[in-house]
Amino acid sequence: MAYPKIDDDIRTKLEAIVGAKNVSFSKDDIEKASVDESPLEPHPPAVVVKPGTAAEVSAIMRLANEKLVSVVAQGSRTGLAGASHPIRGGIALSLERMNKILEIDEENLMAVVEPAALVDDVHKAVEKVGLYYPPDPGQESGSIGGNINTNAGGMRALKYGTTRDYVQALEVVLPSGEVIDVGGKVVKDTTGYSLLDLLIGSEGTLGIVTKATLRLVPKPKHTALIYAPFESTHDAAKAVSEIIRRKVQPFALELMSRHAVETVERYLERKLPDDTHPAYLIVGVESNSESELSTQLETAGEVCIENGAVDAFIADTAEKQRQMWESRKAVYDAYNTFYELDEADICVPRGRVPDFIDKLAGVEAKHHVQIVPVGHAGDGNVHCNIIRLGGTDKEWHEALEASISDLIDLSLAMGGTVSGEHGLGYTKRLYLVRKVGAMQVELMKGIKKVFDPKGILNPDKIWG
Ligand X SMILES: Cc1cc2nc3c(=O)[nH]c(=O)nc-3n(C[C@H](O)[C@H](O)[C@H](O)COP(=O)(O)OP(=O)(O)OC[C@H]3O[C@@H](n4cnc5c(N)ncnc54)[C@H](O)[C@@H]3O)c2cc1C
**Residue 213 in contact with ligand X, rule: CB under 6 A:** no
Q: H or E stretch including 195? A: helix 195-199
Among 134, 145, 201, 308, binds ligand X (CB under 6 A): 145
**Residue 166 in contact with ligand X, rule: CB under 6 A:** no
Q: Which neighbouring-strand residues pair with 91? A: 47, 71
Cβ atoms 333, 374 nearer than 8 A: no
Residue positions counted in the chain: 464
Compute, in degrees rounded to 10, the torsion defined by CA atoms 249, 273, 276, 284: 10
> Which residue has its beta carbon closest to ligand X?
146
User: Which range in 2-10, 203-211, 386-394, 428-436 contacts ligand X by CB under 6 A?
Assistant: 203-211
**Residue 256 in contact with ligand X, rule: CB under 6 A:** no
Query: What's the start-to-end Cα distance of the chain, in Å?
Result: 14
| Cβ 349 to ligand X shortest distance, Å | 19
* Count of residues that interact with ligand X, criterion CB under 6 A: 37
Binding mask 17-56 for ligand X (x = CB under 6 A): -------------------xx-------------------
Cα–Cα dist 261/395, whole Å: 28
Among 47, 182, 208, 256, binds ligand X (CB under 6 A): 208
For 90, residues 6+ apart whose C-beta sits below 8 A from its C-beta are 3, 6, 45, 46, 47, 64, 69, 70, 71, 72, 456
**Residue 75 in contact with ligand X, rule: CB under 6 A:** yes
Cα–Cα dist 306/235, whole Å: 10
Nearest CB to ligand X, comparing residues 388 and 422? 422
By CB under 6 A, the residues from 399 to 438 that bind ligand X are 421-422
Nearest CB to ligand X, comparing residues 47 and 80? 80
Cα–Cα dist 189/323, whole Å: 41
| Cβ 223 to ligand X shortest distance, Å | 18
**Residue 114 in contact with ligand X, rule: CB under 6 A:** no
Among 73, 312, 348, 399, binds ligand X (CB under 6 A): 73
User: Which range in 137-145, 178-186, 233-241, 270-278 contacts ligand X by CB under 6 A?
Assistant: 137-145
Nearest CB to ligand X, comparing residues 174 and 402? 174
Among 90, 115, 134, 175, binds ligand X (CB under 6 A): 115
Nearest to 61 by CA among 213, 211, 204: 204
For 89, residues 6+ apart whose C-beta sits below 8 A from its C-beta are 3, 5, 43, 44, 45, 46, 70
Nearest CB to ligand X, comparing residues 265 and 311? 265
**Residue 74 in contact with ligand X, rule: CB under 6 A:** yes
Handedness of CA 350, 352, 355, 361 (dihedral sign): negative
Task: State how far the alpha carbon of 412 is from the alpha carbons of 346, 355, 404, 436, in Å.
Answer: 9, 13, 12, 10
Q: Which residues bind ligand X (CB under 6 A)?
A: 36-37, 72-80, 83-84, 95, 115, 137-139, 142-143, 145-147, 149-150, 152-154, 203-204, 208-209, 332-333, 421-422, 458
